[in-house]
Amino acid sequence: MEERAMMKTDTLDQIAYALYLAERDVYEVTKFVERYPELTVETAYDIQDKLIELKCKHEQTSISGLKLGLTSKAKQQMMGVHEPTYGVLLANMAVNAQHPISLKSLIHPKIEPEIAFVFKEDLVGPVVTVAHVLTATAYVAPAMEIIDSRYLNFHFTLPDVIADNSSSSRYIVGSQKYAVNEVDLVNMGCIFTQNDEMIATSTAGSVMGHPARAIAWMANKLIARGQHIRAGDIVLSGALTGSATMHAGDSFTVSFDGMESLSVQVER
Ligand code: OOG
Ligand code: MG
């Protein structure tokens, strides 16, 4: 509480609004830690909550789930931030893989392979384990996330990225559903291709040893803010490889061992 008291509510509202406008009007902003060195992780999640409230209200959408960020070494090294984060998914961020994706309303989008978990039961911290996550999961599916940091050149610190809803922008979930015991969530291989060229490979366990561990971590964090994973939520467990910059006309495919591959096409 003391940490939070260092920044006025007005300032947090202003930062949330600045991030909301940057996304709405498609421009970059500079990192807030430069102006507000006192910005902490806790305060940043307060800003994220305010940003989600703004987006739900102005875009007339609602929460569809959550996402983990920076849960693999590949992503942590790429972004220079060495702790996981989480963010909120909204219904209007869901993209249908059947149609080419337009980049028009995006700033500098990147795409990354993920494993989606869809929940059939609430999952409430603070002592959630991998086993609890798996029991509460209805199914897993291949997914891709489009991230689009609102920060200049995609550069941020941990509090900055948290305030910016962990760079969330769009997500695509494959239509084929798999029970958690149908796939190997530790050793399953993942191949990520751009325009039919392999750009990265990984394994499911690259996400904190087991992607469900990342979700357990998040569930145990959420409860400190009075929040939890709800039945019906979609949770992206974090990219398994580095992300790829998206260009007009590109196609991207993620193939996991034992799952149907998922492809998206970017509009020309
Ligand atoms: C932060 C979001 C990271 C992931 O899956 O690691 C993320 C970023 O890299 O901009 O979504
Ligand atoms: Mg991601």
Model pLDDT for residues 60-79, shown as the tens digit of each residue: 999 999 999 999 999 999 99
pLDDT band at 2 (very low <50, low <70, confident <90, very high): very low
Ligand nearest, relative to CA of residue 238: 1
Angle between helices 41-58 and 9-24 (to 10 degrees): 50
**What are residue 11's phi and psi, to 5 degrees?**
-65, -40
Q: What is the DSSP letter of 61?
A: -
Model pLDDT for residues 131-167, shown as the tens digit of each residue: 999 999 999 999 999 999 999 999 999 999 999 999 9
Residue with tokens 């869901």: 94
Q: Could you write out the DSSP letters of every residue in 175-241?
A: S--B-TTTS-TTT-EEEEEETTEEEEEEEGGGBTTSHHHHHHHHHHHHGGGT--B-TT-EEE---SS
Comparing CA positions, the residue from 43, 79, 85 lying closest to residue 66 is 85
Contact partners, residue 40, CB within 8 Å, separation at least 6: 3, 4, 6, 159
Q: How big, in percent rounded to 5, are the helix, strand and coil portions of the chain?
A: 35, 30, 40
Query: Which of 77, 86, 167 for mutating ligand 1's site (highest number of atoms within 8 Å of CB)?
Result: 167
Distance between CA atoms of residues 11 and 50, nearest Å: 11
CA dihedral for 28, 30, 31, 33, sign (positive or negative): negative
Closest C-alpha to ligand 1, atom 11 = 69
Model pLDDT for residues 188-199, shown as the tens digit of each residue: 999 999 999 999
CA distances from 259 to 98, 143, 207, 209 (A): 18, 11, 18, 20
Residue 101 host element (H or E)? none
Contact partners, residue 246, CB within 8 Å, separation at least 6: 101, 103, 106, 109, 110, 111, 146, 252, 266
238 Cβ closer than 6 Å to some ligand 1 atom = yes
Report which residue type is found at 185: L
Comparing CA positions, the residue from 10, 47, 19, 18 lying closest to residue 169 is 19
241 Cβ closer than 6 Å to some ligand 1 atom = no
264 Cβ closer than 6 Å to some ligand 1 atom = no
Model pLDDT for residues 192-224, shown as the tens digit of each residue: 999 999 999 999 999 999 999 999 999 999 999
pLDDT band at 1 (very low <50, low <70, confident <90, very high): very low
Ligand nearest, relative to CA of residue 149: 1
Rg, C-alpha atoms of the chain: 17
Strands 63-69 and 234-236: parallel
Strand spans (E) along the chain: 63-69, 85-90, 110-119, 137-147, 168-173, 189-194, 197-203, 234-236, 244-245, 251-256, 262-265
CB 237 within 8 A of CB 218: no
Residue 5 has pLDDT above 80, yes or no: no
Query: Which of 73, 117, 243 for mutating ligand 1's site (highest number of atoms within 8 Å of CB)?
Result: 243
Residue 265 has pLDDT above 50, yes or no: yes
Residue with tokens 């509202």: 13
